[in-house]
C-alpha cells in the first residue's frame, strides 16, 4: 500500500519482504522463505488463535472503556501479525521491551489479558512482574524504553563474556532482546542514541518498528522520507523491511534477525509495515485527520483475513476450526471482563512503600501525616485535628 | 465581553497574536489537522496555513530546539508540549539553551519562544499525563512562567507571552480547559507577572494558581460559612513571583496557606513561605502552611484524589492555621 510519501523523498531501493501475499497465497522470498519452510499447519493455527484472541480482547477493551470501566484503551487492531509474528519466534530467555500497544506480544508471552488491563483500569502504572515472562512494563514516554533494551542487551553480552572467561561452555541459544517502538517514536533523539550504542557495543538487540502509518494524527511522511529500515545502514547494521500484515513474513524476518543476533553479529532492525485500523486510543477521533478511503484500502490487507484465507486455501482448514476459535475467544474476553470488573483499587497508603527501595525519612513522615489526616475523616473520630497536627507543622 | 472556555480563550489569543504579527507561528505534535489532543489549536491550521501551524515530527527536543533557531531568525514560535510528562525530552533545550542564550550572548540575542504545557492532574488518565513540573523550570533563571486559571488570563497571557522578548512557559490548567468565563477582548488586564487578589478577606490568605484557584475560592467560601473571612490570591506568574502582593496581604491577615498540585517537598510553596517569613515575620500569627502532593510519583488514576490537594485539605490547613 502506497502511503503518502514526502515530496522530496529519494526512492528507496530496499526490498519489501513478503511471504503471504494479499490473497494469502505463498509468494517466494529468496532470503526469508527458508526461515518458515518448517512451519506446520498446527503452528499456523496457533498463530491464528493468538492473533484473533488478541483482537477479541482488544474489542472488549474498547467496550470496557466505553462503559467507564477502563480509564483509557489503546486498540491494536491491524497489528496482530506484526506483534504475534515477531514474538512467537523468541525464546523464554529473550527479554522483551514493549511500548504501549503491544498487547498481542504480551499475551503471546503468557501474560493474562486481565493483568494487562490493570494499567488501563487506572489502578497501577505497571501491572505485572517483568521477570515472570521476561516482559518489561509498558512505557508511556515514547522511545524511553529503547535505550533500556540496548543496555539490557549489553548486559547479556557482558555476562556471556564473563562466563566464557570463566571457562563455562557457551550456551547454544544466547539471549536476544527486542525493543518495540512506532514510526512516530522513531523520531525521538533517544532512538538515534540507542542505535549508536547498540552498534558500538554489538548489542544483541532487535529494533522492531511497527510502522502503522500514523502517530496519532501525523502521517508517516512527516517522520521520514524513506522506509525506516533504510536508517539501519547508516549505523552499520542490517535493516529489513517486511509486510507487517503477513504473519509468515514477520516470523521469517524475525527468525533471520534473531539468528544473526544470537551469532554475535550485533543489532538488527526490522520495520514491519502495517496499519493502525482503529483510533489511536479511545480518546481519539481519526475522522478528524484521515480519509475513510485509506482505512478501507488497508481493510483489504487485514492480517487476520489473510491468514484465514491461507489456512482455508492452502491447508483446507474448515469452518468448524474458525468457529471454535471464535467461541474460545469470546470466553477469553468474558473471563477478562469478569476479572476486570472484580478488580479493586489499591490503597493509596501503599504508594508510600513503593517510591524507594530503601527507607526514606521524608516518605515515612508524609505517610504518617497522611494516615493521621485520614483518621480525621473517620466518622467515629472525636479527635481535634488542630491539637494533634498544629504543633508539628 | 464574550463567554469562552479556557481552551477557546487560548485559541482566540493565539489567533489574535498570529493575525497581528506574521512572525508568530505554532509548532507541536498533532496541533494542526487534529487541532491538538485538547483541541486548543482547532481551526488554526486551516486559517493560517501549514507553514504557520506546524504538525511537527515527533520529537520534543526537536520542537523546542528548532524554535530557538526560528526565534534567532526573527520568528516568535509557540511550542505545544502534548502533556506535562512529555516535556522532558526537551528539558536540555529548555534549560541549557533557551533559558541561557540571552545571558550567554551578553544580551545580543533574544529568543522569544513560548512553550505551552497542559499540566496538572485529576483527569483520570494514565502515567505521565497529570504532572505539575513547574518548580523544575522556576529554578532555572532565564525562563518566565505563567499559570492562567481562567479564560480572561488564558486569552491575554497567550498574547503577552508571545510578545515578551524572554522565553515564557505557560502552564495551562488542563482540567479547567472547559471552565467558562468572561473574556474582555478590548482591555488588556495589564502586567501578566503580577498576582491578583481575587477575593478580599481579613483573617487569612490562600495563595494558589492554575487548577487550584477554584479550589481556593471554594475553601474561602466554606470558611465564610464558619464565620472566617479569607483572602484569596491567584498568583498568575510563577517566575517572577509577585511577592509584594502576597506580602501585603499577609501583613493584613497574618496567616498564609499556599496550595499547589505539585509535591510539597522542593515545590514553589517553600519559596513563597520563606520569602514571606523573611518579609513579614512580625505580622505572622501562625507558620506559613503548605498544601501539596506527597513526595511520590503521581499515582494511578484510581487513587489520585488522595494525592492531589482538594477542598478538604485546604480547609484542614486553614483550620490548623487558625488554631495557632
Ligand atoms: C515523549 C512523548 N511525546 C509525546 C507523547 C504523546 N503521544 C502518545 S502516542 C503518540 C504517537 C505515537 O506514535 P507511534 O510511535 O507511531 O506509535 P503508535 O501510537 O502509532 O503505536 C504521541 C505523540 C508521548 N507519549 N511521549
Ligand atoms: Mg505509529
Q: Are both A185 and A329 inside the same structural domain?
A: yes
* Shared domain check, A249 and A150: yes
Task: Assess if residue A201 is contained within a domain.
Answer: yes
CA A366 to chain B, closest CA, distance in angstroms equals: 7
Going by pLDDT thresholds of 50, 70 and 90, the confidence category of residue A389 is: very low
pLDDT of B191 over the 90 cut: yes
CA-nearest of A183, A171, A172, A58 to A113 is: A58
- State residue B33's pLDDT score: 95
Whether B124 and B216 map to the same domain: the answer is no
Same domain, A115 and A145: yes
From the list A336, A133, A142, A185, the residue with the least C-alpha distance to B57 is: A185
Is the torsion defined by CA of B168, B173, B177, B178 positive or negative? negative
Cα distance between residue A345 and residue A364, in whole Å: 22
pLDDT digits (tens, 9 = 90+) for A228-259: 999 999 999 999 999 999 999 999 999 999 99
pLDDT tens for each residue of A214-232: 999 999 999 999 999 999 9
Contact B303 A390 (CB under 8 A): no
B161 lies in the same domain as B256:
no
* Long-range residue pairs from B35-39, CB within 8 A, at least 24 positions apart, any chain: B35/A288, B36/B80, B36/B82, B37/A216, B37/A283, B37/A284, B37/B82, B37/B83, B38/B7, B38/B118, B38/B174, B38/B177, B39/B7
d(CA A203, CA A265): 8
My answer on whether A159 and A296 are in the same domain is yes
A112-124: per-residue pLDDT in tens? 999 999 999 999 9
- pTM for the whole thing? 0.95
Does some domain include residue B85? Answer: yes
Name chain B contacts of A289, Cβ cutoff 8 Å.
33-34
Domain boundary (B183, B213, B235) is at B183
Q: Which of A209, A217, A361, A364 to mutate to test the interface with B (most CBs of B within 10 A)?
A: A217
B282 shares a domain with B261: yes
Q: Does a structural domain hold residue B51?
A: yes
Q: What is the DSSP string of B104-131?
A: HTTTS-----EEEEEE---S---TTSS-
State yes or no: pLDDT of A387 exceeds 80.
no
Predicted confidence at residue A9, as pLDDT, reads 76
Task: Say how many Å lie between the first and final Cα of chain A, rounded.
Answer: 65
Q: How confident is the model at residue A383 (pLDDT cuts 50, 70, 90)?
A: very low
User: In this predicted structure, which of A54-58, A59-63, A167-171, A307-311 has the lowest mean pLDDT?
Assistant: A167-171
CATH number for position B234 = 3.40.50.920
Question: To which residue does cell 557482558 refer?
Answer: A158
Residue A9 resides in a domain: no
Do B90 and B230 lie in one domain? The reply is no
Distant-in-sequence, close-in-space partners of A312: CB < 8 Å, separation ≥ 6 = A24, A318
DSSP letter for A18, please.
Answer: -
- Pocket-testing residue among A83, A138, A142, ligand 1, by greatest number of atoms within 8 A of Cβ: A142
Q: Is A54's pLDDT higher than 80?
A: yes
What is d(CA B68, CA B72) in angstroms, rounded to the nearest whole number? Answer: 6
Q: What are the chain A neighbours of B89 within 8 Å (beta carbons)?
A: 141, 143, 188-190
Collect all residues with Cβ–Cβ distance below 8 Å to A385 and sequence separation of at least 6. A373, A376, B316, B319, B320
| Inter-chain residue contact A348 with B307, CB threshold 8 Å | yes
Owning domain of residue A353: 348-386
* Spacing, Cα A186 to ligand 2 middle (Å): 9
Is B74 within 8 Å of chain A by CB?
Answer: no
Strand order in the sheet with B76-80: B53-55, B24-28, B76-80, B114-119, B168-173, B144-146, B237-239
CA distance A102 to A208: 11
Summarize the confidence of residues B27-39 as an average pLDDT.
97
Q: How confident is the model at residue A379 (pLDDT cuts 50, 70, 90)?
A: low
Ligand 1 pocket: which of A104, A215, A224, A277 to mutate (most atoms <8 Å of CB)? A215
ipTM score of the complex? 0.95
CB contact under 8 A, A140 and B124: no
Owning domain of residue B285: 196-322
> Is B161 part of any domain?
yes
pLDDT of residue A380: 53
Q: Is A95 helix (H, G, I), strand (E, B) or coil?
A: strand
Q: Is residue B190 part of a domain?
A: no
Residues of B taking part in catalysis: 129
Does B76 reside within a domain? yes
For B9, B149, B152, B232, the CA distances from B172, given in Å and listed in that order, are 11, 8, 13, 20
Note whether A149 and A46 are same-domain residues. Answer: yes
Q: Is A2 within the bounds of a domain?
A: no
3-state SS record for B26-53: EEECCCCCCCCCCCCCCCHHHHHCCCCE
Mark whether A259 and A127 lie in a shared domain: yes
Residue A239 Cα to ligand 1 midpoint, Å, equals 22
Tell me: do A329 and A373 sit in the same domain.
Answer: no
Q: What mean pLDDT is predicted for residues B136-154? A: 98
Judged against a pLDDT cut of 80, whether residue A6 lies above it is answered with: no
- Where do we find the cell 547494521? A237
Q: Tell me: the pLDDT tens digits for B61-108?
A: 999 999 999 999 999 999 999 999 999 999 999 999 999 999 999 999
pLDDT, tens only, A127-164: 999 999 999 999 999 999 999 999 999 999 999 999 99
The total number of structural domains in chain B stands at 2
* Residue B32 maps to a domain: yes
Q: Give A178→chain B minimum CA distance, Å.
A: 22
In a domain, A55, yes or no: yes
Same domain, B255 and B174: no
Considering its fold, how many domains does chain A have in total?
2
- List CB contacts of A37: < 8 A, sequence separation 6 or more: none
CA distance A215 to A290: 12
Cα B111 to chain centroid, rounded = 20
Any domain includes B8 = yes
Considering the domain architecture, whether residues A126 and A254 belong to the same structural domain is answered as yes
Residues whose CB falls within 8 Å of the CB of residue B218, separated by 6 or more in sequence, listed in order = B311
Residue-level pLDDT at A1: 38
Q: Report residue A248 as a C-alpha cell.
A: 509468515
Query: Which CATH number goes with the domain that contains A157?
Result: 3.40.50.970
Residue A378 has pLDDT above 80, yes or no: no
Q: Round the average pLDDT of chain A to a whole number and report it.
A: 94
Give the phi and the psi of residue B80 in degrees, each rounded to 5.
-105, 130
Band (A31; pLDDT cuts 50, 70, 90): very high
What is the 8-class DSSP label of residue A170?
P
Same domain membership, residue B136 and residue B222 = no
Assess whether A143 and A158 both reside in one domain.
Answer: yes
Residue B191 located in a structural domain: no
Is B148 in the same domain as B200?
no
**What confidence category does residue A341 fall into, taking pLDDT thresholds of 50, 70 and 90?**
very high
Contact A330, A324 (CB under 8 A): no
Give the Cα separation of B268 and A34 in Å (integer). 63
Has residue A8 got a pLDDT over 80? no
Does residue A94 sit in the same domain as residue A71?
Answer: yes
Q: Is A393 inside a domain boundary? A: no
Q: Which residues line ligand 1 (CB under 6 A)?
A: A 101, 140-142, 182-185, 212, 214-216, 276, 280; B 29, 58, 60, 82, 86, 89
**Where do we find the cell 508510600?**
A352
pLDDT tens digits, one per residue of A311-323: 999 999 999 999 9
Which residues contact residue A31 at a Cβ distance below 8 angstroms, ignoring those fewer than 6 apart?
Answer: A17, A256
> 3-class DSSP state for residue A218?
strand
What is the spatial distance between Cα A64 and Cα A73, in angstroms, rounded to a whole number?
8
Looking at the structure, tell me whether residues B7 and B138 fall in a common domain.
Answer: yes
Q: Does any CB of chain B come closer than 8 Å to the CB of residue A288?
A: yes
A281 at B interface, C-beta within 8 A: no
Q: Average pLDDT in the B208-234 region?
A: 98
- Please report, for the domain that includes residue B156, its CATH number: 3.40.50.970
Cell 493584613 -> residue = B252
Give Dmax over CA atoms of chain A in angstroms. Answer: 81
Q: Same structural domain for residues A369 and A288?
A: no
For residue A368, what are the CA distances in angstroms to B39, B254, B259? 42, 28, 20
Banded model confidence at residue A377, pLDDT cuts 50, 70, 90: confident
Torsion of CA A260, A262, A267, A271, to 10 degrees: 60
Indicate if A290 and A355 belong to the same structural domain.
no
Amino acid at each position: 500500500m502506497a502511503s503518502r510519501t514526502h515530496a522530496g523523498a529519494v526512492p528507496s531501493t530496499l526490498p519489501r519482504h513478503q511471504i503471504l501475499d494479499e490473497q494469502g497465497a505463498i509468494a517466494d522470498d529468496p532470503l526469508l522463505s527458508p526461515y518458515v519452510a518448517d512451519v506446520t499447519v498446527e503452528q499456523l493455527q496457533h498463530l491464528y488463535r493468538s492473533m484473533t484472541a488478541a483482537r477479541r480482547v482488544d474489542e472488549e477493551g474498547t467496550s470496557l472503556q466505553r462503559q467507564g470501566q477502563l480509564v483509557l484503551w489503546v486498540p491494536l487492531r491491524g497489528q496482530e501479525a506484526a506483534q504475534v509474528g515477531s514474538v512467537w519466534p523468541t525464546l523464554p530467555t529473550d527479554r522483551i521491551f514493549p511500548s504501549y500497544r503491544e498487547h498481542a506480544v504480551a499475551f503471546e508471552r503468557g501474560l493474562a489479558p486481565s493483568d494487562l488491563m490493570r494499567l488501563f483500569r487506572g489502578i497501577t502504572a505497571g501491572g505485572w512482574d517483568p521477570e515472570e515472562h521476561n516482559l518489561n512494563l509498558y512505557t508511556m514516554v515514547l522511545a524511553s524504553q529503547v535505550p533500556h533494551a540496548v543496555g539490557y542487551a549489553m548486559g547479556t553480552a557482558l555476562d556471556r563474556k564473563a562466563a566464557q572467561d570463566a571457562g563455562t561452555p557457551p550456551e547454544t541459544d544466547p539471549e536476544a532482546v527486542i525493543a518495540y517502538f512506532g514510526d512516530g517514536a522513531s523520531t525521538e533523539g533517544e532512538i538515534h542514541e540507542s542505535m549508536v550504542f547498540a552498534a558500538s557495543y554489538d548489542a544483541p538487540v532487535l529494533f522492531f518498528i511497527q510502522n502503522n502509518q500514523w502517530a496519532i494524527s501525523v502521517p508517516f511522511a512527516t517522520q521520514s522520507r524513506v522506509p525506516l529500515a533504510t536508517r539501519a545502514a547508516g549505523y552499520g547494521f542490517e535493516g529489513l523491511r517486511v509486510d507487517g500484515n503477513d504473519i509468515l513474513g514477520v516470523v521469517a524476518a524475525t527468525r533471520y534477525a534473531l539468528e544473526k543476533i544470537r551469532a554475535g553479529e550485533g543489532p538488527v532492525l526490522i520495520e514491519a509495515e502495517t496499519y493502525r485500523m482503529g483510533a489511536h486510543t479511545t480518546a481519539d477521533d481519526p475522522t478528524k485527520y484521515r480519509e475513510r478511503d485509506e482505512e478501507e484500502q488497508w481493510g483489504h490487507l487485514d492480517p487476520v483475513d489473510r491468514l484465514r484465507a491461507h489456512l482455508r486455501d492452502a491447508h483446507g482448514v474448515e469452518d468448524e476450526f474458525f468457529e471454535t476459535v471464535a467461541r474460545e475467544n469470546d470466553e477469553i474476553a468474558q473471563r477478562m471482563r469478569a476479572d476486570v470488573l472484580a478488580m479493586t483499587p489499591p490503597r493509596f497508603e501503599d504508594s508510600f512503600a513503593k517510591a524507594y527501595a530503601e527507607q526514606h525519612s521524608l516518605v515515612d513522615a508524609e505517610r504518617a501525616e497522611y494516615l493521621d489526616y485520614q483518621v480525621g475523616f473517620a466518622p467515629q473520630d472525636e479527635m481535634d485535628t488542630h491539637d494533634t497536627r498544629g504543633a508539628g507543622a | 465581553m464574550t463567554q469562552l472556555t479556557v481552551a477557546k480563550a487560548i485559541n482566540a489569543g493565539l489567533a489574535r497574536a498570529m493575525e497581528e504579527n506574521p512572525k508568530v507561528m505554532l509548532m507541536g505534535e498533532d496541533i494542526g489537522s487534529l487541532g491538538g489532543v485538547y483541541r486548543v489549536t482547532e481551526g488554526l491550521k486551516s486559517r493560517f496555513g501549514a507553514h504557520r501551524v506546524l504538525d511537527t515530527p515527533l520529537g520534543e527536543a526537536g520542537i523546542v530546539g528548532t524554535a530557538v533557531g526560528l526565534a534567532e531568525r526573527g520568528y516568535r514560535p509557540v511550542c505545544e508540549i502534548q502533556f506535562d510528562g512529555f516535556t522532558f525530552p526537551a528539558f536540555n533545550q529548555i534549560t541549557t539553551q533557551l533559558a541561557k542564550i540571552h545571558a550567554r550572548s551578553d544580551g545580543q540575542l533574544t529568543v522569544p519562544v513560548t512553550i505551552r504545557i497542559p499540566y496538572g492532574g485529576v483527569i483520570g488518565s494514565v502515567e505521565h499525563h497529570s504532572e505539575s513540573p513547574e518548580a523544575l523550570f522556576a529554578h532555572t533563571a532565564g525562563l518566565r512562567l505563567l499559570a492562567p486559571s481562567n479564560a480572561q488570563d488564558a486569552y491575554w497571557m497567550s498574547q503577552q507571552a508571545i510578545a515578551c522578548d524572554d522565553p515564557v512557559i505557560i502552564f495551562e490548567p488542563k482540567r479547567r480547559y472547559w471552565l467558562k468565563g468572561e473574556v474582555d477582548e478590548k482591555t488588556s488586564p495589564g502586567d501578566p507577572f503580577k498576582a491578583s487578589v481575587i477575593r478580599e478577606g481579613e483573617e487569612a490568605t490562600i495563595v494558589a494558581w492554575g487548577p487550584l484557584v477554584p479550589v481556593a475560592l471554594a475553601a474561602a467560601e466554606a470558611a465564610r460559612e464558619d464565620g472566617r473571612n479569607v483572602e484569596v490570591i491567584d498568583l498568575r506568574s510563577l517566575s517572577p513571583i509577585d511577592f509584594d502582593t502576597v506580602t501585603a496581604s499577609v501583613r493584613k491577615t497574618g496567616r498564609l496557606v499556599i496550595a499547589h498540585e505539585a509535591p510539597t517537598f522542593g515545590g514553589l510553596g517553600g519559596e513563597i513561605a520563606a520569602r514571606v517569613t523573611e518579609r513579614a515575620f512580625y505580622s505572622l500569627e501562625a507558620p506559613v502552611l503548605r498544601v501539596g502532593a506527597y513526595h511520590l510519583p503521581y499515582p494511578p488514576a484510581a487513587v489520585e484524589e488522595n494525592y492531589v490537594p482538594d477542598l478538604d485539605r485546604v480547609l484542614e490547613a486553614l483550620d490548623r492555621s487558625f488554631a495557632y
